Every structure is written in C-alpha cells, then in structure tokens.
C-alpha cells in the first residue's frame, strides 16, 4: 500500500474518533446517558459505533475528493441510494440497543426513552406537521432564491466554475427514477437524516458540529453551489428542532424539500439546461 493510500485511510479516522468522543462527553454532560452507558464495555462499543459510521459514511469519502469528477459521473444503483440511510439508521438503533437493552428506564420503557432522546416524541403531532409544511415551503423558496442569487453573482464575477451548468449524473439518475421511488427516497432522507443529525447528534454535539457533518455528507455531489443550499437547510432544520423540541417539523420540511427537488425542480432544471445555459440548482 502506498503512503498516499495509507493517509487516505488513516487521516479521516482522526475527526471520526474526535466526534465520537464529543458525542460521548456530550451524552454524559447533558444528562442523556442511558443505563448501559455506565458499563465501560458498552460505552466503548457505543463510541466505536459512532466513530465507525462517521468514518465510513461521511469522512472517509472526503479523502477522495481529488477524484471527484469520477465520483460525480458514477451512476449509483437504487439500493446504493438507500445504503447510507440504512447505515445511519442502524447505527442509531444499535447505539440505543447498547444503551438500553432490555432494561427498563425511569418514566417508561426503553422505547419511550429512545423516542425522547431522538426527538421523536411530540405532544402535538398535528401542529408539528403543519409547521413542518409551512416552514419547509418558506425554507425551500428562500434556499432556491439564495442559490440563484449566489449563482448569478458567481457568473457575474467570472467564477462560473463554482456554479457548473451540468447536473451531476447521480442527481440526474435520481430525478429520472419512477415517482414512487423518488417519493420513497425523499421520505427516507427526511426521516433518517433528521433523526441522525438533528435527533441524535445535535443534542450531544451542538448545532455547529452536527450541521458541519450534515454538510460534509453532501459534499460528494461535486456542486460547490449546492453546499450553500445545504448549509442554509441544515441551519434551518436545526432551528426547527431547537424551537419545537422534536425532529418532526424538520422531518416534514426536509421531506418536502427533497420531494419538490426530485419531483419538480430538478426535472425542470434538466429541461431548461437542455434548452439554454442555466445554472444547476442541485439537490
């Protein structure tokens, strides 16, 4: 193995371990420690699980960004589109299995505690649904307008390379899927990503770290402009969770945003790009 390959494998492990330790410390300091957390063996496994999923799913791919053109042109399979979501969801489930196991928790069973710690418990689901739809619509409009404004400014400044007109092949593939699959992908992304980044990470690491990881998880699309939108979305979703105390408004808003992109805006953008040079808005 060459030194270059070795560094690509080892370097991402450093921030992965650092964030896992931050999750560990935040879990204890913020009173979120489940019963199994106080078992040294389980606590080590829980930290290792977090480090592994961050390394494999988010940080390790970043070490290959110099090969981004090849990565962007690669067309994923349908199972691969859901693989990352499965990895994130299973990591959260296993973390809580290690933390609670079969033991009962004060104020209810383990499942009640898990729902509370993941931000899945809501006192008014109807209100959270309505707020998610309203905030999601407003956020979608603001993000699209912001991305158009930034793209226009970049093109005016002669930095059009940061706002490529070509839509990534992976995004084209997703936008060309059957409607049912696009809806399923939107629901999967909205639920799983909000549970992992906002429900699990945000209470333990804070908004900055959880949002940064969310942004990095979307870096492989090869669209610098898209990261502007992802950043705004992440901060918006984080505030929804902070204000409401649960992830459901963010889940609804995230699902709505992705559905609007995959079902309408990206197909429209592809058609416009074919007819005239227009900046790709991305996902």
Q: Would you kindly state where each structural domain of the chain is located, as residue ranges?
A: 3-275
Angstrom distance (rounded) from CA 56 to CA 64: 13
Report pLDDT for 222.
66
Give percent of the chain with pLDDT exceeding 70. 86
Report pLDDT for 155.
81
Angstrom distance (rounded) from CA 232 to CA 193: 15
Average pLDDT, the chain: 88
Mean pLDDT of the region 21-48: 95
Checking if the pLDDT of 52 tops 90, the result is yes
Angstrom distance (rounded) from CA 30 to CA 145: 37
Checking if the pLDDT of 104 tops 50, the result is no
Residue 210: Cβ within 10 Å count: 25
Report pLDDT for 102.
65
Angstrom distance (rounded) from CA 87 to CA 156: 41
Backbone angles phi, psi at 278, to 5 degrees: -130, 140
- Grade residue 72 by pLDDT with cuts at 50, 70 and 90: low
CB burial readout 56-75, b (16+ within 10 A) else e: ebbbbbebeeeeeeebbeee
Checking if the pLDDT of 34 tops 80, the result is yes
End-to-end Cα spacing for the chain: 36
Are 56 and 87 in contact, with CB atoms under 8 Å apart? yes
Checking if the pLDDT of 281 tops 60, the result is no
Q: Which residues contact 262 (CB under 8 A, 6 or more apart)?
A: 174, 175, 177, 182, 185, 186, 283
For residues 274 and 266, which has the higher predicted lDDT (pLDDT)?
Answer: 266
Are 253 and 136 in contact, with CB atoms under 8 Å apart? yes
Checking if the pLDDT of 114 tops 70, the result is yes
Report pLDDT for 159.
66
Residue 94: Cβ within 10 Å count: 14
- Grade residue 283 by pLDDT with cuts at 50, 70 and 90: very low
Angstrom distance (rounded) from CA 201 to CA 187: 20
- Grade residue 86 by pLDDT with cuts at 50, 70 and 90: very high
């Amino acid at each position: 193995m060459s030194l270059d390959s070795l560094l690509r494998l080892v370097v991402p492990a450093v921030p992965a371990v650092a964030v896992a330790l931050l999750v560990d410390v935040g879990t204890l300091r913020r009173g979120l420690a489940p019963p199994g957390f106080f078992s040294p063996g389980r606590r080590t496994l829980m930290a290792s699980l977090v480090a592994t999923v961050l390394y494999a799913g988010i940080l390790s791919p970043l070490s290959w960004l110099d090969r981004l053109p090849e990565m962007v042109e690669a067309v994923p399979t349908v199972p691969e589109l859901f693989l990352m979501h499965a990895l994130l969801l299973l990591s959260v489930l296993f973390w809580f299995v290690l933390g609670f196991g079969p033991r009962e928790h004060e104020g209810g069973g383990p499942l009640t505690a898990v729902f509370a710690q993941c931000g899945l418990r809501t006192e008014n689901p109807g209100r959270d649904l309505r707020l998610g739809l309203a905030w999601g619509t407003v956020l979608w409009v603001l993000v699209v307008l912001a991305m158009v404004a930034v793209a226009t400014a970049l093109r005016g400044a002669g930095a059009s390379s940061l706002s490529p007109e070509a839509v990534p092949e992976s995004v084209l593939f997703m936008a060309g899927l059957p409607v049912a699959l696009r809806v399923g992908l939107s629901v999967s992304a909205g639920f799983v990503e909000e549970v992992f980044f906002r429900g699990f990470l945000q209470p333990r690491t804070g908004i900055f770290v959880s949002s940064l990881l969310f942004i990095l998880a979307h870096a492989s699309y090869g669209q610098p402009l898209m990261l502007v939108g992802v950043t705004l979305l992440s901060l918006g979703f984080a505030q929804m969770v902070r204000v409401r105390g649960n992830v459901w408004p963010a889940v609804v808003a995230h699902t709505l945003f992705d559905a609007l992109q995959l079902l309408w805006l990206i197909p429209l953008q592809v058609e416009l790009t074919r007819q005239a040079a227009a900046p790709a808005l991305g996902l």
